[in-house]
Amino acid sequence: MRGLLLVCLVSLFALQSYGIVIRHDVAPGDYTLRASDFSQVFYLELQGQRKVCGATLISNRWALTAAHCVSETSLGSVIGNGDEFLVEIANVPRRIDRVMLHPDFTSLKTPEVDLALLRFVQEVNYPTPIPVNTKADELGEIVTLVGWGYFGLGTTGRQYDDGTKRQAKNRITQADQRLFSFFDDPRQLNSAALPLEGTLSLGDSGGPAFLETSEGLLLAGVSVGQVEGPDFSEETQGQYGSVAVYERVSIHVEWINSVLNSDY
């Protein structure tokens, strides 16, 4: 979709942390995850108390994230200096030695493709990777979002960073070059809000939108921002009515496979 104003979920307001904003009428504990849940999802960097940018393990050697996270963390500079970048997956230290940006991650492309692949020095044998979705069948489907940190309610938007790992659900309401989900207000007549309806908050760039299928979980989207509507403000980011934006993984499978199957 062309002409969208996006708020990148990492650094526009220097709020660099994961986040999940939830329904105001559901207990926060219903959204809470154990540390071992979705262990294929990891954060790239700890900046103070904030866990910055997400990524998902998609094969034994590669993870997928948002391309702008490479510069929003020290990942880009570390790899650029010829060093290895340390992350933690399922409580085990893992080292990244190569970053592959999507070739259309450029200001000359509208919209640019905000994706990057991260290569591990050694194979990651646990946890089992989550494959990418290869079918353009996302429209109307429910996705699962995962994040830590900035917490908030739909009535207020994001509020504070408490470091709790949470999930939320939402439905893909638009699927073209990118995927979009709308944060429904359960107070509205004929609301389509899900029991665990929620949305991503500032700092959640690179985080996943998972499809649950008969084959298991598939990575359908990578979080890249929020539509900046006329009523957007820093203080109320993530309120009911906000629209989250994800790179649509299914239309980039050829590029992903070309990297995974290469000699890089």
Structure-token match 């509205």, residue found: 188
**Cα dist from 36 to 54, 68, 206, 227, whole Å:** 16, 27, 19, 31
Q: What phi and psi, each to the nearest 5 degrees, are found at residue 127?
A: -80, 170
Burial level of 98, CB count in 10 A (0-12/13-18/19+)?
A: middle
Contacts 24+ apart (CB under 8 A), 213-219: 215/131, 216/130, 217/130, 217/144, 218/130, 218/131, 218/132, 218/133, 219/56, 219/58, 219/64, 219/130, 219/131, 219/132, 219/133, 219/249
User: What are the structural domains, with CATH classification, of the chain?
Assistant: 6-36+132-250 (2.40.10.10), 41-129+252-260 (2.40.10.10)
Distance CA 33, CA 29 (A): 8
Distance CA 167, CA 22 (A): 9
Q: What phi and psi, each to the nearest 5 degrees, are found at residue 191?
A: -60, 145
Q: Which residues contact 251 (CB under 8 A, 6 or more apart)?
A: 136, 177
Per-residue pLDDT of the chain (264 residues; tens, 9 = 90+): 333 455 555 433 323 334 789 999 999 999 999 989 999 999 999 888 888 889 999 999 999 999 999 999 999 999 999 999 999 999 999 999 999 999 999 766 667 899 999 999 999 999 999 999 999 999 999 999 998 767 899 999 988 877 788 899 999 999 999 999 999 999 999 999 999 999 988 767 899 999 999 989 999 999 998 887 777 777 778 899 999 999 999 999 999 999 999 876
* pTM for the structure as a whole: 0.91
